[in-house]
Structure 1
Amino acid sequence: MISGEGAILARAACDGQDRLLSADEPLAGLQLRCGGEVPGTIAVPELLDLVRSARRSQLPVACAVNAQDGSDVISTWVEVEPEGEGCAIRVRSWHAEPLIALDGTIAGQRRAVTDRHLAELSAWLDAGQRVIAATSDSAELAGLAAAMEQGIGRNWTDFLPPENVTHQQPLHWRLLDGAPVIVEGSSRSWRVSLIPQMRPGYEPSGFELLLLSDQAPPDAIPSEHRVVQAPRRGLVGQDLAPVLKQPIARIVANAETIRTRLAGPLPDAYAEYAGEIASAGKLLLDLLEDMADLEVVEADGFVTTADFIDLSEVARQAAGILGVKAREKGIVIEAPGLQDSAPALAEFRRVLQVLLNLIGNAIRYSPEGSRVTISVEADGTRARAIVGDQGPGLGIADQERIFEKFERLGRSGDGGSGLGLYISRRLARAMNGDLTVESTPGQGARFTLEVPGDPEG
């Protein structure tokens, strides 16, 4: 493991029940804005996971931690060291960036959240893509982590050479984001995700690098729960999507720079045109993501990979991602509390994808000033997440039609593709669960995602 260098910005301490006993600013303020208290259970999900990992292993850990703070995403480098029954926490960096991802889409935000959850190695890079710090809990990547520890200041591609790239560094980070890389000594396929630390209109001040594999380690899940990995994406997902995403994302980024007048003064009419261009680009990116997902769920033999998760934690992350979108309409999202729990055996990123779709639909079709409620429940063998809204509701005949492919029930101009619920139900059933709806016209709707429960949770 590599510890970050530089001044300690904040210190904190927690006990053996993962309660934050004391904290300096700005960590204390973040804890309060995430719905927690001091003292109180750690309210930042990624920090809570890091503390639990250190406490259970009785080993010091360090990692980039990200949290939503109002309209910003806070990115920090945190070190956690077991101390007595609890842990000592040190914060060495603190960066704020706009909540909307670089491509401005929910799909982009979803990718960042899921990549951070699934990454088996994370590193902090400077603006020149040189390694500042890195950490990994994977025994398979111990040699790589040690090499990066000895090579702070070198470019990350010295340790993770991209496949099929003949040009020498420096390469623009956009050309490397998502690139397959070679991990010496590993038989699995790997890719990197580069998340820039930036504000619209400016070049990145640094990067968070995540190393991921779409092939789970053989001992990640007990054999009785192990399933075959999903097949690779077809024409859209494998060939077209990577080619189209970069130019569309660049169009969106440039249009947003113009719209916000970061490049200089501009008449209102032109700023509005730029906003329309950005909105159209975001819709294209979301549609591209939907079409790629459609290929996946309709492929022969499509399966998911089970994770031990808690539906309440995934629901809180989904609610956080869509919080700003809800506030724009004056809608309040009531998410499960920290005391709520629904242990489940399902694929984290697919559960998050379904919940983002359900919550996004609830926000889109609910009146201003209403509420969207998310609750969870578990009975040992099954776990459920329920998303309820105060929208127009659905008649009996429409409650099955709404899950059909490209079905939008006569709606137009709302930017939807008519694929979200179809894909979501396919994903739920691939996880040995289901997605259902209960609704009465004029009284809103309640969508229930049900997946296998974790009997040992």
Structure 2
Amino acid sequence: MTTPPLAPPSVPQVHGAIARTDSEDRLVAADEPLLGLQLRCGGDVPGAIAIPALREAVGKARALGLRIARPIIAQDGAESVTAWVEIEPAVDGCQIELRHWRSRPLPVEDEAAIARRKLAVERQIAELHARLDARQNVLYAAAESTELAALAARMDSARGRPWTDFVSIPGSAHQQPLHWRLLDGAPVAVEGSARPWRATLVPVGLPGSEPAGFELYLGSDLPAASQSEANPVAAQIRARMIGREVAPVLRQPIARIIANAETIRSRLAGPLSEEYSAYAADIATAGQHLLALIDDLTDLEVVEADDFSTAPDRIDLAEVARQAAGILGVKARERGIVIDAPRPGESLPAVAEFRRVLQVLLNLVGNALRYAPEGSQIWIRLEDEAGLARVIVADQGPGLDPAQQRKVFEKFERLGRSGDGGSGLGLYISRRLARAMGGDLTVDSAPGQGARFVLTVPGDLPVSR
């Protein structure tokens, strides 16, 4: 007698099960394999239903007094289960029949990818972003909500002090700042705000080496009661209409939509079919494009204001370039692109506003990453000539012909691109910022030979105040 071959491991097993609940939606009897899933999910028999999708369906059937038939999806940490459930409500509970039970091993998740997705969620809901040096001292800070505008203003006006000087860390009596790993995820209290806040610290630099600096994000799990209240500090740092009135009202709900969509897409909130995970990814992408457009329109209104000016200071262009490369390093590595930034110890003094120079360089390097082919290289070079300091961002992308070079800095100019969510404002705003700092932004390119964008600012000369 010939023994039939075993089914390959990828073929799911098919089972059915009968179960019963009481009037309090407790599972009082269950066949295998439902019984095993209930136990693996931390439940018991008799006991509360530990399978979220089944608990929801039973509760709805009993509340409505109607028979319900639907598919459910569940997981126990090792397997993903799908089944067809039919629930018949009775006087003392519900009768449950599960059919077409299929189980598959869960795919092995990349821990680094999970960490990146969780960080993306934290960034989206953050209402304050600050840049810190290697000792956690503030380099600059910016608020995304009026509630934290005063905190951002205090931090930005006292650069060089530890960020922990501006907030309270409940339950911590140790000298601040602590090691960054102890502060990452720590609860913090903000003067003037009743909401609980959480700090997220992201090290910047090469993996395996000591951080060259940090990105700090403050976010809250509780939404603000209102974003429209008057705030004199916010009024000073926001633009006239979009920045002060519309942007704060829109930014937080859109950011929460993105964060929730990312949570759903990543299945952090529970199992989900691939189709609906893709829908959530589309929602998150659309939200990110909308948020970027709001930010661009806010910056546009700022730079086009008659009284717009920058806050010149003595900065090191090499350090700003290294920080821009560090911030975009993960995105570059995902595409196999190497960013060749100025080496540690290399320096180029200049007179400009640190935050605005960083904003311009992030735009230039971000554009280079968008157009550079995978596996290529992006160079950030420094030049000092005749009292001027220059940063050159060069890529190996398709380049620009003379007609494109004449149009690339125009407002809303996207050079025929579509589908990338860009507003066509980044280079226009960057050039306005460069000229407001007493410099300029130019391009040198040729089709098939990449592009070289050159940011020029005054060298380190005495500044009249």
Report the TM range for the smaller structure's normalisation.
Answer: 0.5 to 0.7
Q: Give 2:382's aligned residue.
A: 376
1:268 maps to amino acid = E
Unaligned 5+ segments in structure 1 are: 1-69, 74-95, 137-153, 163-168, 177-192, 204-212, 216-228
2:356 is matched with 350
SS state of the match for residue 401, structure 2?
A: coil
- 1:161 corresponds to: 192
The equivalent of 1:336 in structure 2 is 342
* Aligned equivalents of 1:97, 1:381: Cα separation in 2: 44
Shift of 1:312: 0.8
Q: Per the alignment, do residues 101 and 319 of structure 1 end up closer, same or farther by CA in structure 2, a change over 3 Å counting?
A: farther
CA distance in 2, matches of 1:454, 1:245: 37
After superposition, the CA RMSD in angstroms is 4.0
In structure 2, C-alpha distance between the alignment counterparts of 1:403 and 1:269, rounded to whole Å: 40
Distance 1:268 1:128 in 2: 40
User: Aligned to 2:131, which of 98, 106, 113?
Assistant: 113
**How far is the alpha carbon of 1:409 from its aligned partner?**
0.8
* 1:11-410 mapped onto 2 (5 Å cutoff): 100=120, 102-104=122-124, 111-113=129-131, 116-118=138-140, 119=155, 120=158, 122-123=163-164, 156-157=189-190, 160-161=191-192, 169=194, 171-173=195-197, 195-196=217-218, 232-379=238-385, 381-410=387-416
SS of the residue 2:323 aligns to: helix
- Return the offset for 1:116: 3.5
Does structure 2 retain, via aligned residues, the 8 Å contact 1:123–1:133?
A: no
Contact (CA 8 Å) 2:123, 2:217: kept in 1 or not? Answer: no
2-side partners of 1:71 and 1:124: how far apart? Answer: 33
Query: Between Structure 1 and Structure 2, whose CA radius of gyration is higher?
Result: 2
Whether contact under 8 Å (2:168, 2:189) holds in the other structure is no
What SS does the aligned partner of 1:112 have? strand
Deviations 1:228-281 (A, max 9, x none): x98741111011111111111111111111111111111111111111111111
- How far apart, in 1, do the equivalents of 2:455 and 2:167 lie? 41
Q: Distance in 2 between matches of 1:447 and 1:123?
A: 37
Identity %: 55
- Aligned residues of 1:372 and 1:389 also touching (Cα < 8 A): yes
Question: Structure 1 counterpart of 2:131, which letter?
Answer: V
Is contact 1:428–1:434 with CA below 8 Å preserved after alignment?
Answer: yes
Q: Indicate the SS of the match to 2:379.
A: strand
List per-residue Cα deviations over 1:342-373 (Å, max 9, x = no partner).
11110011000000000000000111111111
Contact 1:230 / 1:304 at 8 angstroms: preserved in 2? no
Q: Is the 8 A contact 1:110 1:353 kept in 2?
A: no
Q: Does 1:421 align with 2:443?
A: no
Partner amino acid, structure 1, of 2:405: Q
Rounded Cα–Cα distance in structure 2 between residues aligned with 1:299 and 1:417? 19
SS of 2:346's equivalent?
Answer: coil
Where structure 2 has 5 or more consecutive residues not aligned to the other structure, the ranges are: 1-111, 141-154, 178-186, 200-214, 223-231
CA distance in 2, matches of 1:314, 1:410: 31
1:327 and 1:155, CA in 2 relative to 1: closer, same or farther beyond 3 A?
Answer: closer
**Cα pair 1:97 1:197 within 8 Å, conserved:** no
SS in 1 for 2:455: strand
TM-score (normalizing by structure 2):
0.57
TM-score (structure 1 length as normaliser): 0.58
Question: Aligned-pair distance for 1:100?
Answer: 3.9
* Structure 1 residue 301, shift from structure 2 partner: 2.2
> How far apart in 2 are the matches of 1:134 and 1:421?
44
* Distance across 2 between alignment mates of 1:442 and 1:450: 25
The answer to whether the Cα contact below 8 Å between 1:309 and 1:346 also exists between their aligned partners in 2 is yes
Opposite residue 113 of structure 1, the aligned amino acid is R
The CA distance in 2 between the partners of 1:353 and 1:101, in whole Å, is 22
